[in-house]
Amino acid sequence: MKAIPLNREAGKHMQMPTAPLPKGAVKPKIFPEEEIEEEAKRLFEAIGQSSRWNMRICRSISPLTLEINQLKKEKDVFLIAHSYQTPDIVYGVADSVSDSYTLSKAARDAPQETILFSSVRFMAETAKIVSPHKLVLHPSPDAGCSLSDGISAEDVIKLKKKYPGVPVACYINTTASVKAECDVCVTSSNYLRICERLPGDKVIFVPDRFMGKHIQKHLEGSKEVIIFDGECEVHAEFTGEKVISWKERMSSIGVDLQVLAHPECDAGVLEESDFVGSSELLMKEAMRLASVGSNNIMLITECGTAERVLAESEHEINLLGSCVMCRHMKRTQLEDILQALREPEPEQIIEIDEGIIHRARKSLSEMFRLAE
């Protein structure tokens, strides 16, 4: 996996992921030139990265965003995108962009009868669990996740047999059938608070071993955490040594570096970090720091969060270090969304067994109850 160096001029130096140009596999409708030009300007301004997402690229994707937005209106579709999706999706066509916790609530509360989830498979499944009567479309059926694909319902059943009566908390990055075997679901915004509130002196936590260790540290002396051995292949790339080396380099030239990390990183990284939080919280904290002049920031997470900070910060911000791109998250492109909106293939429609939905929903409802 490629670590991509960042800096304030990331776009100019092509050090962030390149803009995904249309592959030509799905031909959008033909729009008048003035409409394309107007849409290209809207995209150019919203994305705000003039070298990587220049007017030529914005013009080439405009027919796609125009037709997608038109179809959304005609078919009354609510389009949800995770923060790690590319900027053309985030700023071009999404109605709601955030991290998994906020998006699971957005899917639940959306008045539309059809939801299109631009992200990896488990998130679209989560939308179906919280809104079983809605049609949930997932444009990229092959977009998986190393965490959700690394654990099965049978693995959880085995753990429950080995530790009878111990509550099981699962990270939201799991399939519907894994959620169905757990007592409560958690996200990167609420995992510490929820695990703390579970009854007893033990908790089984699946599947992220790094988050599990973080919970164990937080609950030291009050609860034992039984941890499954999964990991996010993106956040596992970062190490405490790399962070220390960046901090030393910056300190030697008098730069006060603020390190912001996602809790899917290992303990060494979290120990060296000034702030730990979900992608949404990392973004807010980076922008808050920039607003008070503390703008030399290292964001330890997937590249999408850095893209959003670069696009949305109203203040000068200097992103240092590197980000890592998730190959699963970046599978979805505008053309896949357009095709799924026009006429979805059967595998682009999320179908889950009713019994599994019922049991998985309990673990999500428990999360909403304990988190709020």
Give residues in contact with ligand SF4 (CB under 6 A).
120, 145-147, 173, 232-234, 302, 326, 328-329
Question: Structure tokens of 171?
Answer: 């990270």
Q: Which is nearer to ligand SF4, 58 or 350 (CB)?
A: 350
- Least separation, in Å, of the C-beta of 101 and ligand SF4? 14
Residue type, 164: P
- Least separation, in Å, of the C-beta of 332 and ligand SF4? 11
Q: Which is nearer to ligand SF4, 120 or 156 (CB)?
A: 120
Short-list 140, 228, 214, 224, CA closest to 181: 228
- Least separation, in Å, of the C-beta of 127 and ligand SF4? 15
Question: Structure tokens of 301?
Answer: 């997470």
- 171 near 228, Cβ under 8 Å? no
Distance, CA of 199 to CA of 344 (rounded, Å): 44
CB-side neighbour CA atoms (13 Å) of 352: 31
CA dihedral (123, 129, 134, 136) in degrees, to 10, reads 30
Question: Structure tokens of 71?
Answer: 């179809």
Beta bridge partners of 168: 204
Q: Which is nearer to ligand SF4, 128 or 235 (CB)?
A: 235
- Least separation, in Å, of the C-beta of 277 and ligand SF4? 15
Q: Which is nearer to ligand SF4, 209 or 328 (CB)?
A: 328
Q: How many angstroms separate the most distant Cα atoms in the chain?
A: 67
- Least separation, in Å, of the C-beta of 326 and ligand SF4? 3
How far is residue 22 from each of residues 64, 143, 297, measured CA to CA in Å?
9, 18, 32
Identify the DSSP state of 19.
P
- Least separation, in Å, of the C-beta of 143 and ligand SF4? 8
Q: Which is nearer to ligand SF4, 232 or 337 (CB)?
A: 232
Residue type, 71: L
Q: Which is nearer to ligand SF4, 302 or 335 (CB)?
A: 302
- Least separation, in Å, of the C-beta of 303 and ligand SF4? 10
**SS3 at position 154:** helix
- Least separation, in Å, of the C-beta of 145 and ligand SF4? 3
Q: Which is nearer to ligand SF4, 36 or 323 (CB)?
A: 323
Beta bridge partners of 298: 259, 320
Strands (E), 6-155: 77-82, 96-98, 114-118, 135-137
Q: Which is nearer to ligand SF4, 61 or 234 (CB)?
A: 234
Short-list 1, 83, 56, 64, CA closest to 307: 83
